[in-house]
Every structure is written in structure tokens, then in C-alpha cells.
Amino acid sequence: MIISYSTIHSRTAISNSFLHLFTQAVIDGIPNNAKGPAIPAKGYLVQHIRGGVYWLIGGAYQTMFMVSNEGVIAIDAPPAIGKNYLKAISEVTDKVVTHVVYSHDHLDHIGSAGNFPKDAVYVAHRLVAKSLSVAKAAAQNTSSLPTVPSRTFRKKLLLIVGNQTLHLDYHGINHSPGNTFIYAPKQKVLMLCDVVYPGWFPFDELAYARDIAGFIKAHDTILTYDFQTFIGGHVSRLGTRRDVEVQKDYVSDLHSAAHQALNGTRLAHSSIDSWKDKTEFLKAAEQFCLKIMLRKNWTKKLGGSSILPSNCHKMIMATRIEPLVAVT
């Protein structure tokens, strides 16, 4: 079926056909599988996963740190957790932070790195280091930016600190340039930020992914690792292999829905305002995509259904303009 926005009274017909279902999905709230442990009044929760790897969550952000016999390896430094990061570490060990690993360069994940010791070894992919170096050079107040990593890598880095080992792997751009797979093989824990959101829809615009083809591919790459526990950087709980598989299915359905929406919506040049025509076309395609995803019951499987329209928008735009996304 081809839908022309100019024939449906400013999208009213489409809106009425799915608005009730979508509104009800938002009202119905958060599925049980999206819910995590309660956060104490102190504002954060720290839990031991296994083998000296700890999970830290606060303010819808989460990360991990490792305790070795020589010191602590801290991963990221979300401002949402801030100084509570050091408090959490002090609850489980008297060791100091000797190494800080950045997953990627986004400040919502590493913006509080200044709380860590200045003499710690800061580690990240070289694209992350370059991004921070450029920002430092342009900044009037460099104190607001995280420390530029002194130890970098291009493809892989084996980080050994005392009795603990981390594999840092770069498989190409997905969420952002330099976004790193952080793997603790002995403990079978894998961390990758801003790609998989266990139990939840990916955040706005597929978490602002810079490369949608890379974002899609990252799900398969995650599943090549031998892990039991997954840390995605956000929301309310730890993840499992099954969570990754579920989101892979979601993204596949979303990609298919975007193709169907573009093929089923006609751009009609009905006004002298070309931008208005294009905007109305994209809105109609977005609603087409939403109808498909609602029929597949994704709002009953994942939390945060209010974000689904923006996911549809992002995938539709990527399918229109990114060659690799368009042909797959």
C-alpha cells in the first residue's frame, strides 16, 4: 500500500489509526524485564559481579571497575555518578585508582574523570585521545575537560594490572568513533557503551549513533564474545546474551519497518514550500514505521516506549541516505 501524505488530511487518518495504541503503550509503563534493583538513598548502587569486577549504577548511568592486587582500574567517569564513584570504590577496597579507561569520548560518560588521581594511567582508543586533545586546544577553560589519555591503541590493547586483565578492542565506528569493547575474559564480563540497552529501547535517535550500519553490526560483534554479563552504560540493570539477542531482533524489525515505510509513503509536491513537503513525507513515513513496530508488540517487550518514534525517525533517515543501510 502506498500512502501519500497529501491524501490523508494532514496525516489525521494515519494518526487516528495508531495514536490510541501508541498512547496506551506509553501509559502501560515499564515492563518487568526492564526493571533493575532499587537505588539506595545515597544515590548509587555498587555490586560485585565476580572475580573483582564491580558494577556501579546511579542516575540511569552504569559502569564497572576492577580491583587488582596493585590497584583499581576505573572504567569511565559519568557525571551522573560523580564523586560517588570514589565512595563506591572505598566501600569495597582500600586500593587506589591506578588506571582509568575511557569507553569513548562523550562527556556524559567521562566528564568526571577529574575526580581520579592525576598520576593514574589514562587509557583510550587513539580517536578518543585525538578528540579530547582537539577540544583541549580549543577550550578557554581546559579544567572542564577530562584528562587526555597517555596510553592509546589502534585496534587492540591487552591491559594487565597486577592479577587482572582487560581486553580493549576496537571494531570500527558504531555509536561514536573510538567506542571500545571492554572485555574481562576471566570474569566473562563485556562492556560496550550506548549500543545495547538491556530491557529498554535504545535512547533518542538510536542513542545518537554516528554510524547506523556500524550500530547494527555491533550486535553481531558483541555476540562473538564469550560473556555472561553485559554492561551497556545506561538504564537500570545488567544485561545478558539474551538481552543482546532481543535488541538485535528489535533493530532488525526496525530496519525492515523503515524500508517498508519508505516504500509505502509517497512524496507529493503539493505546496510551494519544498521543506514542508519533505517534512510531511518523513512524518508520514515515521507513523508507518510506528504502526509496524506496534503490531510486533515491541512496546510490551521493552521499556521506554515514548522513545520509539525517534528510533523510527533515525532508522528511516539512515535508510534513506546511508548506502550500506539502504542496501541491507
Residues 6+ apart with CB under 8 A from 317: 282
> Which domain covers residue 127, as residue numbers?
38-201+226-239
Residues 90 and 136 occupy one common structural domain: yes
Cell numbers at 70, concatenated: 596493585
Enumerate long-range contacts of 155-160, CB under 8 Å, 24 or more apart. 157/123, 159/73, 159/99, 159/101, 159/123
The answer as to whether 189 is a domain residue is yes
The answer as to whether 217 is a domain residue is no
Let me know the angle formed at the C-alpha of 270 by 264 and 273, rounded to the nearest 5 degrees: 110
Q: Running DSSP on this structure, what letter comes out for residue 126?
A: H
d(CA 130, CA 178): 10
Residues 53 and 70 occupy one common structural domain: yes
Residues 25 and 63 occupy one common structural domain: no
The answer as to whether 214 is a domain residue is no
Phi, psi for residue 318 in degrees, rounded to 5: -65, -40
DSSP result, 166-183: EEEE--S-SSSTT--EEE
The answer as to whether 244 is a domain residue is no
> What is the reported pLDDT for 24?
52
Strands 121-125 and 151-153: parallel
> Which of these three, 211, 239, 267, is where a domain ends?
239
> What is the reported pLDDT for 164?
99
Residues 231 and 87 occupy one common structural domain: yes
Residues 147 and 279 occupy one common structural domain: no
> Strand, coil or helix: what is 40?
coil
Residues 119 and 25 occupy one common structural domain: no
> What is the reported pLDDT for 295?
95
> Strand, coil or helix: what is 259?
helix
Residues 6+ apart with CB under 8 A from 119: none
For 317, the enclosing helix (H) or strand (E) is helix 308-321
184: CATH: 3.60.15.10
Residues 190 and 90 occupy one common structural domain: yes
Residues 141 and 46 occupy one common structural domain: yes
Residues 299 and 166 occupy one common structural domain: no
Domain count, the chain: 2
Question: How do the pLDDT tens digits run along the chain, 328 residues long?
Answer: 444 444 333 333 444 444 555 555 554 578 888 999 999 999 999 999 999 999 999 999 999 999 999 999 999 999 999 999 999 999 999 999 999 999 999 999 999 999 999 999 999 999 999 999 999 999 887 778 999 999 999 999 999 999 999 999 999 999 999 999 999 999 999 999 999 999 999 999 999 999 999 999 999 999 999 999 999 999 999 999 999 999 999 999 999 999 999 999 877 777 788 888 888 889 999 999 999 999 999 999 999 999 999 999 999 999 999 999 999 8
Residues 15 and 78 occupy one common structural domain: no
Residues 26 and 82 occupy one common structural domain: no
> What is the reported pLDDT for 5?
42
Cell numbers at 150, concatenated: 597517555
d(CA 246, CA 208): 20
> Strand, coil or helix: what is 162?
coil
> What is the reported pLDDT for 301?
94
Contact 151, 99 (CB under 8 A): no
Residues 17 and 141 occupy one common structural domain: no
